[in-house]
Structure 1
Amino acid sequence: MTLHPWPEPFGLFAAWMKEAAAKETNDPEAMNLATVDAEGRPSSRMVLLKAVDDRGFVFYTNLESRKGGEIAGNPHVALCFHWKSLRRQVRVEGPVEPVTAEEADAYFASRARGSQIGAWASQQSRPLEGRFALERRVAEFTARFGLGRVPRPPHWSGFRVLPQRIEFWKDKPFRLHDRSIYLREGDAWATEKQFP
């Protein structure tokens, strides 16, 4: 393994995310989340990164959604950030763990009221007979909570991806791209470069 200028990946990720936040016009925190279903078939979708620390990458979801069910069945996922304006991407692989109730409560409380109501109203990933059915549920939960605080639904929480492997990819001329790999080894990180 070769020594990389950043001894751990989170400092490099923070630097890249800061640049992406300044350059990307839409959702620099968007990431592709890949899960696996009970038959081993992959499934992916875009979600938003809501926090990152030296333990991992946090996102929130309806636990009864398709992704929630797939994570319950196989708690190993992959993430991919792609920042087209910077010609960079970051790939993350590892298991997930639930965030604490306190973390989920704090993030839910920071959301716009409409998003809080939406978390109650949407039966995510289930069949919807028409848009009116969703709008009716939004109206029901809006009336239910009135002007008071909207509590976090029991079926809504978050996950922290605990990376075992992180790859930083940077575009270079003639497709001779730069690939820096971080591999978790206990509490430390090993690094290597890979051929493009």
Structure 2
Amino acid sequence: MSESGLTSGDFTEENEPFALFAQWLKDAEASEINDPNAVALATVDADGLPNVRMVLLKDYDQRGFTFYTNFESQKGQEILGQKKAAMCFHWKSLRRQVRLRGAVEVVSDAEADAYYATRARGSRIGAWASQQSRPLEGRFALEKAVAEYTARYAIGEIPRPPHWSGFRIMPTSIEFWHDRKFRLHDRMEFRRETADGPWSKVRMYP
């Protein structure tokens, strides 16, 4: 039994990482106070300098892990330029972590439209009003932009901005980690050569 009350049976003979991730996320949804789908997103700029920030995972399936953003933002530009990224989930209440990395693709317009339509009206307005990652001369400028777009779209649907969509990371490696006593943690890495290839599984030293 680990310090977290979890057993090494978490990994058992699981040969499909998405199923294991689904179980771990479900556990996190029951234990985390805020945003169990929060994840650190790492990107690289044109000079090879890394960047990291928190985003919210909005979907995942056999194709990969999806989040949405302004494509004109710093992270949007870095991903469009390099077409690769990494993620790290950390669920403190469970003492668990999942890391993944791989190539990135843009989701379809239909997927982006469908998700955008589920957002709160204020969040849809915000997607138009915020020039994300660019200098802001003062809070009033943002509030003014929000007011302008609120008036523009006072009636009817709010269309999705052309610069706002989603990215899907198609992992070639996914590592599951959980805390064990005396720092003798459990680490299991799933690897594949291509985004649609078969997975292999390797248990790693802590």
With normalisation by structure 2, the TM-score equals 0.92
SS in 1 for 2:113: helix
Equivalent residue, structure 2, for 1:88: 96
Q: State the match for 1:114 in structure 2.
A: 122
Q: CA deviation at 1:120?
A: 0.2
CA contact (8 A) 1:4 1:192 kept: no
Out of 164, 186, 189, the position equivalent to 1:178 is: 186
C-alpha contact (below 8 Å) 1:4/1:191 kept by paired residues: no
Instruction: Supply the distance in 1 between the matched residues of 2:166 and 2:156 (Cα, whole angstroms).
Output: 24
Q: Does 1:161 align with 2:149?
A: no
- Structure 2 equivalent of residue 192 of structure 1: 202
Q: How many angstroms does 1:4 deviate by? A: 6.1
In the alignment, what sits opposite 1:126?
134
CA distance in 2, matches of 1:13, 1:185: 20
Distance 2:85 2:143 in 1: 32
1:62-73 matches, within 5 Å, as 62-73=70-81
Deviation track 1:115-153 (CA, whole Å, cap 9, x = no partner) reads: 000000000000000000000000000000112100000
Matched-pair identity in %:
64
The root-mean-square deviation of aligned C-alpha atoms, in Å, is 1.1
Give the alignment partner of residue 9 of structure 1, picking from 13, 17, 23.
17
Name stretches of at least 5 consecutive residues in structure 1 with no aligned partner.
none
SS state of the match for residue 199, structure 2?
strand
Q: Are 1:29 and 2:67 an aligned pair?
A: no
Q: Which runs of 4+ in 1 moved over 6 A?
A: none
- Once residues 116 and 44 of structure 2 are traced to their aligned partners in structure 1, the CA distance between those partners, rounded to angstroms, is 27
The superposition leaves residues 85-121 of structure 1 with CA deviations (integer Å, 9 ceiling, x where unpaired) of: 0000000010100000000000000000000000000
Q: Tell me which residue corresponds to 1:78.
A: 86
Give the Å deviation of 1:184: 1.4
Q: Aligned equivalents of 2:144 and 2:184: distance in 1? A: 54
User: Counterparts of 1:123 and 1:133 in 2: how far apart (Å)?
Assistant: 11
Distance 2:193 2:76 in 1: 28
Find the aligned partners of 1:48 and 1:96 in 2 and give their Cα distance: 16
1:39 pairs with one of 47, 58, 64 = 47
Does the 8 A contact of 1:56 with 1:162 survive in 2? Answer: yes
What is the TM-score when the length of structure 1 is the normalising length?
A: 0.97
* 1:185 to partner: Cα distance: 3.8
- How far apart, CA to CA, are the structure 1 residues paired with 2:29 and 2:128? 30
